Amino acid sequence: MVSSEDPKAQVRTAPKPRGRPRSFDRATALEKALLAFWEHGYEATSVSDLTRVMDIGAPSLYAAFGDKRSLFEEVVREYGVKYGSFGDRALAEEPTARAAVERTLREAAVEYTDPAHPYGCLVVHAATNCSTPEVEQSLRERRNANIAAFESRIRVGIAAGELPAGADATALARHVGAIIQGMSQQARDGASREELEALAEIAMAIWPRT
């Protein structure tokens, strides 16, 4: 029997920790990726940029989100829910097409100039000079879907007598889309909230009335 005073008897070898990837908060990492893509666009944001801002390794990024394109698709969905849903809410909640459009433009002026995040709209700017056709097409479809939603609401307004019977729903919807996209670009170029709100007011001044 070994004496309890034998120093060798006091030694306990700690088990070696198993190799496990460092855990991270997925929602936080996704938000950081969203802000990076929003600020720099899809093409200019590399995987190394993403791992740096998300504070994770490439293996963790691929395991949690897939490749860069898959991550971007999830970012776009998250953006639509968290930052880009004001137009959908206006269309659903306002009693007339005019009120829905006016609210959308005014809220765009606020959202696009909010210093808490990059200026403008991710869906408008993220595929600029993009060499990945699928990404470019995906954002184009989202922009066109937004215009189609306005056109549908305008047609309902025409049928209800809110707008003149001869109003061109397609042209009006395209006009709304052009104003929104222009506001986004001007916000990126430094336009203030007040300047964009003035633009929205002018845009509504030409809205047809019954």
CATH number at residue 116: 1.10.357.10
Measured from the Cβ of residue 63, the count of other Cβ atoms closer than 10 Å reads: 11
The predicted structure's pLDDT at residue 24: 76
- Whether the pLDDT of residue 80 is over 80: the answer is yes
Amino acid at 42: Y
Best CA proximity match to 109, nearest among 172, 188, 202, 194 = 194
Q: Is residue 44 part of a domain?
A: yes
Q: Are 104 and 147 in contact (CB under 8 A)?
A: no
Q: Is residue 7 part of a domain?
A: no
CATH number at residue 50: 1.10.10.60
Q: What is the mean pLDDT of residues 22-46?
A: 92
Q: What angle do CA 146, 149, 152 make, to 5 degrees?
A: 155
> Band of the pLDDT at 22, cuts 50, 70, 90?
low
Residues 153, 101 share a domain:
yes
Residues 107, 72 share a domain:
no
The predicted structure's pLDDT at residue 2: 41
Choose the weakest-confidence range: 13-17, 98-102, 143-147, 148-152: 13-17
Q: Domain boundary residue among 79, 99, 120?
A: 79
Domains: count for the chain: 2
Residues 168, 147 share a domain:
yes
Q: Which domain holds residue 36?
A: 26-79
Q: Is residue 98 part of a domain?
A: yes
- Whether the pLDDT of residue 145 is over 60: the answer is yes
Q: Is residue 8 part of a domain?
A: no
- Whether the pLDDT of residue 54 is over 70: the answer is yes
Q: What is the mean pLDDT of the chain?
A: 90
Q: For 136-175, b where at least 16 C-beta lie within 10 A, e where not — what string?
A: bebbeebbeebbebbbebbbebbeeebbeeebebeebbeb
Q: Is residue 12 part of a domain?
A: no
Q: Can you list the pairs that 187-191 forms with residues at least 24 positions away whose Cβ atoms lie under 8 Å?
A: 187/112, 187/113, 187/119, 187/120, 188/119, 188/120, 188/125, 191/113
Q: What angle do CA 44, 48, 51 make, to 5 degrees?
A: 115
Residues 98, 34 share a domain:
no
Percent of the chain scoring above 70 in pLDDT:
89
Question: From CA 55, how far away is CA 24, in angstroms rounded?
Answer: 9
Higher pLDDT, 164 or 6: 164
pTM: 0.85
Residues 162, 141 share a domain:
yes
- Whether the pLDDT of residue 65 is over 60: the answer is yes
Q: Is residue 20 part of a domain?
A: no
Q: Is residue 3 part of a domain?
A: no
Q: Domain boundary residue among 79, 94, 120?
A: 79
Q: Is residue 192 part of a domain?
A: yes
> Band of the pLDDT at 14, cuts 50, 70, 90?
very low
- Whether the pLDDT of residue 4 is over 60: the answer is no
Q: Which residues contact 175 (CB under 8 A, 6 or more apart)?
A: 203
Q: Are 179 and 105 in contact (CB under 8 A)?
A: yes
Residues 199, 184 share a domain:
yes
Q: What is the mean pLDDT of residues 163-172?
A: 96
